[in-house]
Structure formats: C-alpha cells, structure tokens
C-alpha cells in the first residue's frame, strides 16, 4: 500500500463493518480444568452481553487448541455441542497465536457474504506448566519439532534474540524493557479478567531469574488457561436487535509474509535468503499493520488505543514501530515519554497485555478485541481511556500468520 | 563398542575439521539459496523451477544476535534429567554472501559474555548428544580466533 492511502485517514473501510454485539471472557489463570468449560463460560458471557439467545446463533466459529486432543482440533463443534446442539453452521480454524483473529475473520466473511447474520466466535485453552512444546513423536519434517530437537530453541530464546538485537541496534536497555512490564502490570491490576493483578516494579523485573539472556522471567509472558468470545452480527441485525451504535469491526488483516522473509520468525532455524529477490520495503509485521490500516481506511494517528502481542517486554516496543506509532528505533523513547501509557497519545495494552494475562493461545487475539470493545463502549472503569473511538490489535502466529483487527465506534 | 557418529538431521552439514560446512540448496534457475534445504520446489514465488542443487554455505558470518537457555527445554531436546542443567548459548549469524541469518548453538564453553553483535564467528562440527549406540552430531558457531 502507498502512503496516500494511509493519509486518507478517518474515511470508511473497503468493506462494510460488522457489529460487535457481545463480548465475554473466562478469567485467565491456571485453573486446572478443561478448555471446553472455559470456552462455554466465555460464550455464555458474550451471549448475555449481546442479549442474544444461543438458539438464535446461526454460525459458530471456534479457534482451535492443539492441547485438547481431537476436541481441540474441532473447537467450533466442541463448543456448539457443549452449549447444546441447535443446528448452527460451524467452522474451526487454527493459526497458532493468530487463531482468534482468523476466527473473527471467518465470522466476518460469512456476515459480509450474507451467509448468516449473527455468529458466535470462541477461543479457549488449558495450558501446560512450563514451556510450550511441539507435538510428540519423531517428526523431522516439522520445523517446530526440529528447532527443539536440534537447538533446544524454546519460544523465550527467540524473544531473547530479538531483545538483544534491539539493545545492540537501538541502544535499548533492560530498564526500558522493565518499564513495559511496569506499565502493563499497573493496568492488569485493574482488570478482573487478568491472571496477574498487582503492580510490579522495575526492581522486581531486574531481580527475577534470567530465562533467555537478556530477558528475565518478568519480561516474558506466562502460559495460561483462559477463554474469550464475541457475538458478531450484520449491522442490519444489530439495528433490529436495538443496537443502533454498536462497536464495529472495520478490518481484519490476516496476511502472510512476502518472500524473502528476512525476520527470524518462530519456529524457523534460518531466515529466507535475499540473494535472488530483494526484501520487500516493509517487514512482515509492518505489512500486517499496513494491511489493516488500508482495509480500514485509517492511519496510525487515528488510533485511540491499541492491544499488541507483548510475548516479551521488548516485543511490545517492536510493535510500536511496526504499527507506525513511531519510527524505527524509537519504541523505547515513546514509552519513556508516556505516549503509550494512560493519559498518553496512544495507550497500548490497557488490558494489561500478555504481561498480566499470560498467553491462552486461541483465546488471546479474541481477548484483544474484547478489551477494545469495552474501551470503545467506555465501560472499563479504572482503566478507561476517555473518548476512545478507534482501536487496533496486532498479533503474529508462528508459521507466517499475521493478524490485526481494527475496531471503531 | 564405539558409538556411530550420525548427523542429527541428514544432509544439513558435512565435512571434517576445517572443511566442515552447512549444506543448503540453490535454485538452478533463479539462484535463490535455501537453508534448511529445499529439494522439491524453489520457494521464490516468481520462479517455477524444480531444479535445486546442493551448495555449501559460507563458513563465516557475523553475530546478528545471541541468547541462552537457562532452563531445560522440553523433548525432543535430549538432556539427562539426572544431571544439573547447563545452559547452552544460541547464536543467530548473518551470512553476507547468502544474505540470510542462520541459528545455531554456540560451541561448548562459549557463553553470552563472550559474544557481541557484529562479532565474526565460524561454523564448526559439534556434538548435540550421545546415547548408547549413537553420537548425534550437529553444527556449532564459534567466535573466530578461539581455540576448540
């Protein structure tokens, strides 16, 4: 996309909007129960919030989990059965950390195509203790299996590589990274759905154990149980339902990289080579945000709030740049100036982010949209950003899944 | 009985001592280089070729970034749960000729304190793990000028 398109700001998107009628979550934590239970709690909360009877839902889209056996791979049907079969069409999608956005994208496509008028989207996970691990067996054709077998490269080691690179190239410090945690923990303390609900000091981050140099335990997001759900509808259905000014989804970007992908993304052992084809002008993550802006017809300066995927503290700073909130290497400066904190120009991760939630993979991108929905409704209480009108989510799932959702009111 | 030396992944590297190299493939039509190797289709979207030939990668590059694993990784990484965990170093190395970054473990004894972004490193043969019958071999990155 070109900068002319970005500069048009504030106009309508390239498609019609869809309405967010309801949002619901099961609190994040380590509850020791199954993902189906979490998902149905979130689904019922979203249905109640929407004021829609489950039997009136005509499509269910589930974001899959790879940790729940067969029911996890057919999450849409699993949730539909648990809520009581009522004949709705069903889809189940998987895109790693971007699964939730793909589920929202699937629901939106059905609504815009006129296949259905009200959809339930659900994602839920029950996470194991410790590092995420690949599926079992001898699977040398699976890059995710190989990176563990050959290198022992856990997810946090990739976060460590990115963080060290930022320190070397941009001069960022451990203190800068810690301040991301301080900001997000303060917000998470105000969120009843967050797993970690207390303020954290920079000293506590520095005193926590190193997991993958230079990152400490408190720089890295935990793995959590949790669930999030949305009831999405056509604007016509919303009007008939009495929701005249609902929060609306204006764009869902689910783009893939462009060859050669020059970022060392999970779970890769090497980047693409740029010998035969020069790299694209924008990195993969930048292209995700640009696709969302283009589809929504907005520019970064139109944003009121953003929810970004802070798998680590340093990655949040990277997202500031990829979203165009600042130039390359200016992420830490933006944070230090308070631009991304409440009261700043563009508060980021008002939910508390992954820093306060820990990651419940298929639920997380849906939870990002729940937070934006509540911010745009003005119902988040102590963490409310006054006058929030436009929000964006950003997320990346391993194996080349970009995701970004633009929400407006 | 001596153990058999077996690469942890077949055909990703070959050679002994100074001649040790990572092995990628190069598209015979467009020249694109791949590591891990592609043997079926060229992944350049503007190329239709199925012709891919094996090519050794540059033995030296510069540190793009580095980290370490302070906690024991899950299987299929092999480690003895009876022994205390010894952190390993991971180094991402930028190869100038190939214009790509390749990850690898640091050679034994190389810690994050020994590394800087931009430092020159070379690929050396290494051992990943051993079991009753097999020594599983791999590649390591080692700062240039450091003895084995």
CB contact under 8 A, A273 and B35: yes
CB contact under 8 A, A168 and B102: no
Closest residue of B to A160, CA-based?
B67
Mean pLDDT of chain A: 95
The token pair at A268 is 């890769």
Contact (Cβ atoms closer than 8 angstroms) between residue A67 and residue A130: no
* Nearest-angstrom CA–CA distance, B59 and A199: 48
Kindly provide the ipTM of the predicted complex, given to two decimals.
0.97
Contact (Cβ atoms closer than 8 angstroms) between residue A205 and residue A213: no
* Nearest-angstrom CA–CA distance, A234 and A249: 10
CB contact under 8 A, B71 and A264: no
Q: Which residues of chain B have pLDDT under 50?
A: none
| Of residues A197, A198, A196, A199, the one with CA closest to residue A222 | A196
- The pLDDT, as a whole number, for residue B145 is 84
pLDDT (tens digit per residue) in A72-128: 999 999 999 999 999 999 999 999 999 999 999 999 999 999 999 999 999 999 998
pLDDT (tens digit per residue) in A169-225: 999 999 999 999 999 999 999 999 999 999 999 999 999 999 999 999 999 999 999
Mean pLDDT of chain B: 96
CB burial readout A234-250, b (16+ within 10 A) else e: bbebbeebebeebbbbb
B33 contacts in chain A (CB < 8 Å): 273, 275-276
- The pLDDT, as a whole number, for residue A137 is 86
B98 contacts in chain A (CB < 8 Å): 273, 275
| Of residues A340, A345, A352, the one with CA closest to residue A310 | A352
pLDDT (tens digit per residue) in A219-256: 999 999 999 999 999 999 999 999 999 999 999 999 99
Burial class (CB in 10 A: 0-12, 13-18, 19+), A307: buried
- The pLDDT, as a whole number, for residue B33 is 98
Nearest to B68 among A147, A212, A273 (CB): A212
- Residue A10 in this model has a pLDDT that exceeds 60: no
* Nearest-angstrom CA–CA distance, A384 and A368: 15
Nearest to A275 among B74, B75, B98 (CB): B98
Average pLDDT over residues A305-316: 98
Nearest to B8 among A149, A274, A277 (CB): A149
Sorted by sequence, the CB contacts under 8 Å of residue A281 that are 6+ apart come out as none
CB contact under 8 A, A270 and B103: yes
pLDDT (tens digit per residue) in A323-352: 999 999 999 999 999 999 999 999 999 999
Q: What confidence tier does A11 reach under pLDDT thresholds 50, 70, 90?
A: very low
* Nearest-angstrom CA–CA distance, A343 and A372: 16
Contact (Cβ atoms closer than 8 angstroms) between residue B65 and residue A164: yes
- Residue A8 in this model has a pLDDT that exceeds 50: no
pLDDT (tens digit per residue) in A348-395: 999 999 999 999 999 999 999 999 999 999 999 999 999 999 999 999
- The pLDDT, as a whole number, for residue A132 is 84
Element (H, E) at B95: strand B88-95
- The pLDDT, as a whole number, for residue B1 is 60
- The pLDDT, as a whole number, for residue B147 is 63
- The pLDDT, as a whole number, for residue B56 is 98
| Domains and their CATH numbers in chain A | 18-130+225-233 (3.40.47.10)
pLDDT (tens digit per residue) in A121-161: 999 999 988 888 888 888 998 999 999 999 999 999 999 99
Closest residue of A to B31, CA-based?
A276
Helix axes A155-170, A313-322, angle to 10 degrees: 60
pLDDT (tens digit per residue) in A17-52: 999 999 999 999 999 999 999 999 999 999 999 999
Element (H, E) at A73: helix A70-73
A150 contacts in chain B (CB < 8 Å): 8-9, 128, 138
Contact (Cβ atoms closer than 8 angstroms) between residue A311 and residue A159: yes
| Of residues A34, A216, A201, the one with CA closest to residue A124 | A34
Sorted by sequence, the CB contacts under 8 Å of residue A109 that are 6+ apart come out as none
Q: Cα torsion at A306, A307, A310, A313 (round to 10°)?
A: 40
pLDDT (tens digit per residue) in A254-267: 999 999 999 999 99
């Amino acid at each position: 996309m070109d900068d002319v398109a970005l500069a048009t700001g504030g106009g309508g998107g390239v498609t019609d909007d869809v309405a967010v009628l309801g949002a619901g979550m099961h609190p994040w934590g380590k509850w020791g129960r199954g993902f189906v239970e979490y998902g149905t709690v979130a689904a019922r909360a979203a249905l109640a919030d929407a004021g829609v009877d489950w039997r009136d839902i005509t499509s269910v889209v589930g974001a899959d989990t790879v940790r729940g056996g067969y029911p996890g791979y057919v999450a849409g049907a699993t949730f539909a059965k648990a809520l009581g079969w009522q004949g709705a069409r069903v889809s189940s999608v998987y895109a790693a950390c971007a699964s939730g956005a793909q589920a929202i994208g699937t629901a939106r496509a059905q609504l815009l195509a006129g296949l259905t008028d009200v959809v339930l989207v659900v994602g839920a996970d029950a996470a194991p203790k410790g590092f995420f691990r690949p599926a079992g067996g001898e699977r040398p054709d699976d890059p995710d299996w190989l990176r563990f077998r050959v290198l022992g490269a856990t997810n946090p080691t990739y976060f460590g590589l990115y963080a060290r690179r930022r320190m070397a190239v941009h001069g960022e410090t451990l203190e800068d990274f810690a301040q991301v945690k301080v900001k997000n923990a303060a917000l998470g303390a105000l969120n009843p759905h967050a797993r970690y609900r207390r303020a954290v000091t920079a000293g506590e981050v520095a005193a926590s154990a190193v997991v993958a140099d230079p990152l400490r335990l408190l720089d890295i997001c935990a793995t959590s149980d949790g669930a999030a759900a949305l009831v999405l509808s056509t604007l016509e259905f919303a009007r008939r339902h009495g929701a005249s000014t609902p929060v609306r989804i204006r764009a869902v970007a689910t783009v893939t990289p462009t060859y050669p992908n020059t970022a060392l993304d999970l779970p890769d052992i090497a980047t693409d080579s740029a010998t035969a084809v020069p790299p694209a002008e924008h990195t993969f993550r930048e292209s995700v945000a640009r696709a969302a802006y283009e589809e929504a017809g907005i520019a970064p300066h139109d944003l009121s709030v953003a929810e970004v995927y802070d798998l680590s503290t340093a990655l949040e700073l990277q997202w500031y740049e990829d979203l165009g909130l600042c130039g390359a290497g200016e992420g830490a400066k933006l944070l230090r100036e308070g631009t991304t904190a409440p009261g700043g120009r563009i508060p980021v991760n008002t939910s508390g982010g992954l820093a306060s939630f820990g990651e419940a993979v298929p639920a997380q991108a849906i939870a990002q949209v729940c937070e934006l929905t509540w911010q745009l409704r003005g119902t988040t209480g102590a963490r409310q950003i006054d006058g929030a009108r436009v929000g964006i989510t950003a997320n990346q799932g391993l194996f080349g899944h970009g995701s970004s959702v633009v929400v407006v009111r | 009985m001596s153990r058999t030396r077996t690469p942890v992944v077949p055909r990703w590297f070959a050679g002994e001592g100074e001649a040790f190299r990572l092995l990628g493939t190069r598209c015979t039509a467009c020249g694109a280089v791949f590591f891990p190797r592609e043997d079926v289709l060229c992944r350049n979207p503007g190329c239709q070729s199925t012709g891919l030939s094996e090519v050794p990668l540059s033995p030296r590059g510069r540190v793009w970034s580095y980290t370490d694993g302070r906690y024991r990784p899950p299987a299929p990484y092999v480690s003895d749960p009876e022994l205390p965990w010894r952190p390993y170093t991971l180094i991402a190395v930028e190869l100038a000729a190939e214009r790509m970054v390749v990850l690898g473990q640091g050679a034994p004894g190389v810690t994050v304190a020994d590394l800087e972004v931009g430092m020159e490193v070379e690929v050396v043969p290494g051992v990943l793990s051993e079991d009753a019958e097999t020594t599983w071999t791999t590649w390591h990155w080692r700062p240039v000028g450091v003895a084995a």
